[in-house]
Structure 1
Amino acid sequence: MKKVWRTGLMIALIAGLAACSSPKAPQATTGQSGSAVQTEGGAAGGEPKGGIAVYGFHDDTMTFWDPSDSYANEIIAMNNMYETLLRYNPRTKSFDKELAEDYTVSKDGLTWTFHLRKNVKFHTGAPMTADSVKKSIERTIKRGKGAASIWDSVDKINVVDEHTVEFKLKYSAPLDTVSSSGYAAFIFDADALDKNGEQWVNEGHDVGSGPYTVQKWTKGSELILTDFPDYWQGWKANNFQKVVFKTTPEANTRQQMMEAGKMDFTDQMPIEMIEAMRANPDITVEQTNSFQQLIMQFNTQKAPLNNPKVRQALAYAIPYDSIVKDILVGAGEQSRGSIPKGLWGYDATLAQYNYDPEKAKSLLKEAGVTGGKLTLTYLSGDEFERRISELLKVEFGKIGFNVELKSMLWDAQWDLAKTQDPTKRQDIFLLYWYPDYADPYSFMKNLYESEENIVFNLAYYKNPEYDKLVEEAKKVSGLDRSKAIALYKQAQEILIDQVPGLSVYDLEYVRVRSAKFKGYVDNPAYPNVVFFYDTYRE
């Protein structure tokens, strides 16, 4: 009965989606429609007949539409519409070739040459060439938004021939890592994007080369992608024809849809719901490693947290084991340093703070601080952050601090953190951080390197010695990774001693998917992304 009902649902959805349109997101006349307009026989390699995949997401999927600027939730959809030269492989900890079929690096690490695939088309119908790569990356660099800084090492991009592009670097950066980023590394039809303009792309259009292209977008509701018939890898019968990213903030609703077989994959489910779904044979629950950490940043420009001993005291007042066991229910582990486990640069020999309230009180006495009032801000709607904040209020209270908790929307939380007067900012800022690309520089630079204009160093920390170590590590990482790791270790030891902030725990993702949804491999370099071309339904 369930099998018949599900098949009927898929047929009804296909018919409904093929007929739908949106005045806010009109379909482009070229390349923005999928299987409904395929020529007989479909694309080379077959025609997808696998039905519709549904991803239930806790928030609105799309924030930024421009592939140069993308830097938010839309990563889950953009990586199905757009592609990069390489893709990080978590199993081998190396890089798979995507739009590049091969690449070479000079002995000095300053010249990277990519040989491109010859049968790639953009959704606009234009072919991908070396000129496309050059224009895509140069446009991203010029706009300077999102994660564009990952290309800081690039001095010049040369078109060698139609399918060969050469990158000349200022220093030996790991361009394989950079070019595989889930942000700011997309290759796209820059000519079409510039011709149609920002309003056009922001209405819900794409200019990528990925397996799926936009069919319809309803802001705050859903994004529907459909197969691109001329996709360079071709199509198999069990590939999904369409992918729906459905905005579903209510965890109860997502649970009901998963149990009813109306959703294939979802994220950020409360622990108690996950435990209930584990017992359902129609649902698979998996726990996987991530590169994501919960970060606590202290306002180093405001008393009493301008005193390192006070910051150390707070670090000793955190009940790490209780957070991991009672709040995460084992879905993570205490961080060791500022680089997450599994990412190169992680060092298991680094010291950790442990829960020691008496040590905390002793440090406060040395600092001449008897307590006081602190303000802690966290993201509204994040259940883990709420529970942890409430626990910290109790524990910091035990050593003399009265903590005011402020649950805030991200924009409001970030705006407060960037207030010109340091004394009017929060004392403690909680946030999650995961890397722009699979490189420790994303953590070490963004969170603690000196900033003239405040962005993500919300500890307001300034240490020239730390800055020098991090920048030197970045410059040698492409040629001598062992040296880079040693430099990053020295930089982390400074953070552990000075405690401008600390990583509380390395999060483990808990993935909830239909038991019939196959082919999914979690990739921590692309958080929450499902590469739907690789998946199918049994």
Structure 2
Amino acid sequence: MKRISKALLAVSLSAAAFLAGCANEPAAQETQPAQTEQTPSGEKVIVVGLQAEPTSFDAHQISDYNTSRAAMEIYDQLVQFKEESTELEPDLAEKWDVSDNGLEYTFYLKKDVKFHDGTPLNAEAVKFSIDRQIDPKHPFHDTGTFAYAEFTFGMVDRVEVVDPYTVKIVLKEPFAPFLSNLAMHAASIVSPEAVKKYGKDFSKHPVGTGPFKFESWTPGVEAVLVKNPDYFKGAPKVDKLIFKPITEDQTRLSELEAGSIDMMVNIPPDDLERLRADASLQVVEQPGMHVWWTAFNTQRKPFSDVKVRQAVNYAINKESIVNNILHGTGELANSPVPPTVWGHNAALKNYEYNPEKAKQLLAEAGYSNGFEVTYWIPESGSGMQQPATMAAAIQADLAAVGIKVNIQTLEWGTYLDKVFQPKEKMDMDMHQMSWVGDNGDPDNFLYAMFSSEQWPAAGFNDSFYKNETVDRLLKEARTTLDKQKRTQMYEEAQKIIMEEAPWIVLDHEKQIVAASQKIKNFKLHPTGVFRFANVDVE
């Protein structure tokens, strides 16, 4: 979410990006009864069933949905998004100034805030948290792979400590989304002393200033956070959060209905109405900043030919997938940018279902007899909805126009490592992916995934798409402070992208979470990150 340290962006993202890392093995078998009521010890506990294993608890290495949901309550940023919104408000910074030329951002930190290890939050910690990611010569740059560093801070020239509680960030050029970037996970402020102590193992011993503290992580089983009683905004009401990776949707659903977990994500669409009717459960919904697609490797045959990409798009009955597989849990997309994000081009239309047009284009491209291709999909993962079922529908539609599709499935972390390879190492021709916006700005969708400057391992452009006009529009829009002009640039870029079809753009998933009625005041956020600081249980 969303999503690079020039070293391995993503995942690998060696450790990051859409994060890769630990194996996400099913962990439901030994799930203990949920404890949303007070336990004999008086603790209030919430057990969350995730779709995939977290991959790192180092905020600077996060780049997938499930990991951010499990880890981000450990941290704070200089600014934060308001509840249920991408509008900004103060967080660790009580106020800030921006120079008239848009190059200098000066932040005035709240005093007496401490990290979980007892060390003080100060301007040096802010500088450390940014420099660690963007400066290859920083003594602790080698402690991780920072998938979002280039995207979040690539425009930063330097960070200056003005005094113990004042820090100035100087940009190389004006960058319109910069303040919003500072509310993202890569802008979290970490404890310098903890990074120095644990080095590369900081991801297993994370220390921030947030409402919850890290207690333990047993990969494949659970991760546990406990409340921070000294949180500067007031101690949370919940004592403990337990995150369990349960990759199989029906298993996760069974655990919820049995009371072994209190909350679950990625509800099987066929079961949604039944859950809504269950008086013991609540279904929380919100339009999200999500897009699901299948990427073509535009630098390799047959998908280097735009006619082939267009043909595949015409061959797929996208509306049927949304209606009959997703059952309304997603909205048919007309662009990579969701309608919830400003700059969305509502005038565009997706490719209609037209197999005859698909055959015509294939013949024009020299593939009258079709071709054979491998289609890579994850077994589950962040925002991936129903990967196998959706892939099977696409496979059947393409078979009808002469394209033989072989489906290959990988575990999520391994899959991400394979997707976000440099072009010369990339052996996927066609694969699934999804993205959840990080900051509510169209730059976060369009530049991140369609700029040729963002080819892996420098970024998330997993189709290796390149168009000089699109590159120019996206680069200019980043440095233009006039929102109306930016909107026009983004609308034009979306039109070109849809015409050139580097993706099969399918849908925008709605955020839907099912939870016990005992959980009170839980609200979804457009970024998909879970917030528990103000949540309580009966």
5 Å-filtered alignment, 1:47-196, equals 51-61=44-54, 63-72=55-64, 73-89=66-82, 91-142=84-135, 143=141, 145-149=146-150, 150-173=152-175, 174-181=177-184, 183-196=185-198
The Cα shift of 1:414 comes to 5.0
Structure 2 counterpart of 1:467? 471
In structure 1, the gaps of 5 or more residues are 15-48
Deviates more, 1:456-465 or 1:494-503: 456-465
The Cα shift of 1:460 comes to 2.5
The residue identity in structure 2 corresponding to 1:266 is M
Deviates more, 1:150-159 or 1:410-419: 410-419
Is the partner of 1:504 in helix, strand or coil?
A: strand
Cα distance in 2 for partners of 1:7, 1:290 equals: 29
The residue identity in structure 2 corresponding to 1:497 is E
What whole-Å deviation, never above 9, does each CA across 1:277-300 have from its counterpart, x for those lacking one? 222101011332111211121222
The residue identity in structure 2 corresponding to 1:178 is N
The Cα shift of 1:412 comes to 5.0
Match of 1:432 among 431, 434, 443: 434
Cα distance in 2 for partners of 1:496, 1:398 equals: 23
Contact 2:84–2:524 under 8 Å retained in 1: no
Q: What TM-score results when the alignment is normalised by the length of structure 2?
A: 0.84
What whole-Å deviation, never above 9, does each CA across 1:420-451 have from its counterpart, x for those lacking one? 89798333211112234333223223323225
In structure 2, the gaps of 5 or more residues are 1-32, 136-140
Contact 1:129–1:163 under 8 Å retained in 2: yes
Q: In the alignment, does 2:482 pair up with 1:480? A: yes
- More relative contact order, 1 or 2 (CA 8 Å, 6+ apart): 2
Deviates more, 1:365-374 or 1:115-124: 365-374
The residue identity in structure 2 corresponding to 1:459 is S
The residue identity in structure 1 corresponding to 2:463 is A
Is the partner of 2:407 in helix, strand or coil?
A: strand
The residue identity in structure 2 corresponding to 1:151 is F
5 Å-filtered alignment, 1:365-514, equals 365-370=363-368, 371-381=370-380, 384-410=386-412, 413=415, 425-450=427-452, 454-455=456-457, 456-476=460-480, 479-514=481-516
Deviates more, 1:119-128 or 1:100-109: 100-109
Structure 1 counterpart of 2:292? 294
Cα distance in 1 for partners of 2:36, 2:162 equals: 52
Q: CA RMSD in A?
A: 2.6
Is the partner of 2:129 in helix, strand or coil?
A: helix
5 Å-filtered alignment, 1:227-376, equals 227-235=227-235, 239-370=237-368, 371-376=370-375
Structure 2 counterpart of 1:22? none
The residue identity in structure 1 corresponding to 2:45 is I
Q: Paired residues, what number? A: 489
Cα distance in 1 for partners of 2:230, 2:422 equals: 52
Contact 1:258–1:283 under 8 Å retained in 2: no
Structure 1 counterpart of 2:9? none
What whole-Å deviation, never above 9, does each CA across 1:379-418 have from its counterpart, x for those lacking one? 1246712111111112112222122222223455456557
Q: What TM-score results when the alignment is normalised by the length of structure 1?
A: 0.84
Give the percent of matched residue pairs that are identical in Structure 1 and Structure 2.
Answer: 31
In the superposition, relative to structure 1, how do residues 420 and 515 fare at CA in structure 2: closer, same or farther (>3 Å)? closer
Is the partner of 1:224 in helix, strand or coil?
A: strand
In the superposition, relative to structure 1, how do residues 194 and 321 fare at CA in structure 2: closer, same or farther (>3 Å)? same
The residue identity in structure 2 corresponding to 1:513 is A
Larger radius of gyration: 1
In the superposition, relative to structure 1, how do residues 414 and 64 fare at CA in structure 2: closer, same or farther (>3 Å)? closer
